[in-house]
Amino acid sequence: MFMHPFNCFLDFESTLIYVDEKKGDNSTVYQKHEVNSCSIKYNCIHDKLSKPLKIINNKDSEQVLKQTIETLEEYAKYSYEFIQHNKLNKGLTNEEEKFHINKNKCDECRCEFNNKNKKCIHHDHINGKYILTLCN
Say if residues 74 and 51 touch (Cβ distance below 8 Å): no
Provide DSSP, 14-70.
EEEEEEEEEETTTEEEEEEEEEEEEEEEEEESSGGG----EEEE-S-HHHHHHHHHH
**26-68 per-position pLDDT tens digit:** 999 999 999 999 999 999 999 999 999 999 999 999 999 999 9
Say if residues 14 and 38 touch (Cβ distance below 8 Å): no
Q: What angle do CA 22, 28, 30 make, to 5 degrees?
A: 110
Q: How far apart are CA 79 and CA 72, in angstroms?
A: 10
The mean pLDDT of the chain is 91
pLDDT of residue 89: 54
**79-118 per-position pLDDT tens digit:** 998 888 766 556 788 999 999 999 999 999 999 999 999 9
